[in-house]
Amino acid sequence: LGELLVHLGLITPAQIQNALERQKKQKPRKKIGAVLVESGYIDEVTLIRTLYEQSRAGDGQKHKSGKFDALVAAGRLSQQEVDAVVREAQSHHRSVETLLMERYKLKKQEVGAALSLFYGHPFKEYDEKHLPAWDSVSGINLNYWKAAFWVPLHVSEQDVEVLIDDPRAYDRIQDIKRLFPGKQIKFAVGLRDDIVKYLSAAQANLERKNSHQSI
């Protein structure tokens, strides 16, 4: 792991050496990745990405990948824990990502890193300072958005950036293409809870607008 991080230019050999010396003094001894994070040399997201790439490079067998493989590779979860949460989420109609964060105290950025690696698109969180481009799709009923779990973050003459919980959802992708014909679609993956926050903000703005019009 240390050699890979140095090769990628993420840490220096001196930092690795310092982390190894610190690791020797710990009882019980922690994994070197955890020590590097504790030392402030890398963050959790970088560790997850690197461990995932390391596991993929060392796995000569092809297998079906899962959304949370990166978290398993990083030792943050076991596959059994992931499977149990998936079953619980399905039975309670809740988001798997939300339950993982609740059950195992995962940070949103860690879950986001796993999703980004799985889907091959950047992860983006809710940002109240940069609300979506609702004007470009103002004619669509809000109930559609609540069921679709995607929002247009930015629209230009050439392209549109879409935040969606599943960039592989065929039906919704076709909806997006129909709504933005001729534009290049750039996807970002987000948590359903964050997309709902955008929808709540849109609904609040709509209610304020209607209230002002009725006065």
Q: Taking a C-beta distance cutoff of 8 angstroms, is the pair 163, 124 a contact?
A: yes
Distances (CA, A) of 147 to 67, 91, 92: 21, 18, 17
pLDDT in tens, 84-116: 999 999 999 999 999 999 999 999 999 999 999
Between 59 and 84, residue with greater pLDDT: 84
Secondary structure class of 23 (helix, strand, coil): helix
Confidence of residue 57 (pLDDT cuts 50, 70, 90): confident
Residue 191 pLDDT: 96
Q: Which region among 37-41, 55-59, 123-127 has the lowest average model confidence (pLDDT)?
A: 55-59
Whether the CB-CB separation of 97 and 111 falls below 8 Å is answered with: yes
Answer with the residue of higher pLDDT: 48 or 139. 48
- Please state the rounded mean pLDDT for residues 9-22: 90
Name the DSSP class of 136: G
27 vs 69, which has greater pLDDT?
A: 69
pTM, full prediction: 0.81
87/68 Cα distance (integer angstroms) = 14
